[in-house]
Homo-oligomer: A and B are copies of this chain.
């Protein structure tokens, strides 16, 4: 193999990218260091110059995702939510999330399907990620409940749980499965369901 010398950060990213692709394709368990270095076209020893092991590169993948997600959360938190429940604004909000996952398919696949089942440390990292998002949601709901635009009997924690669940399958069983997921249809259904449940319309 040609001996290419790259600066540390580029090489690290090259390995990380390769790992994301391979993990997405074969899953954590079935992925061997060999798969990663073959994908990255790098020698065995080189891998260990950048990551202490398989577990650690997986954690680095999660961390990478965490950063991307944090940026998204920060951006969404910056957007001021309207005092009232505006269907269009909610849909836009949901779509922003869905687009993020659709854009980072491989990464999302890795995280959503594996991060919770492989290793306690992976799970821990995942839970911190999940908590961050849920805290954000709970806080928003509380504010809207105080304004009276949101049903009082709704327990924000339950709602956050439900939202997380809908995210989960929307991602795992729809976005990651279909070749061309109809994000708009999904967001539309989502918002309607979230606003009015399954009961026939008695909207104003």
Interface set of A (CB-CB < 8 Å, partner B): 27-30, 85, 113-114, 116-119, 130, 141, 148-155, 158-159, 161-162, 164-170, 172-174, 185-186, 189-190, 192-204
Residues of B within 8 A of A166 (CB): 161-162, 165-166
Q: Are B114 and A148 in contact (CB under 8 A)?
A: no
Residues of B within 8 A of A113 (CB): 116-117
Q: Are B154 and A193 in contact (CB under 8 A)?
A: yes
Q: Are B116 and A172 in contact (CB under 8 A)?
A: yes
Inter-chain pairs besides A29-B29, A141-B198, A161-B174, 10 sampled, C-beta below 8 Å: A149-B200, A150-B199, A152-B200, A155-B185, A162-B166, A162-B169, A164-B173, A165-B165, A165-B167, A197-B197
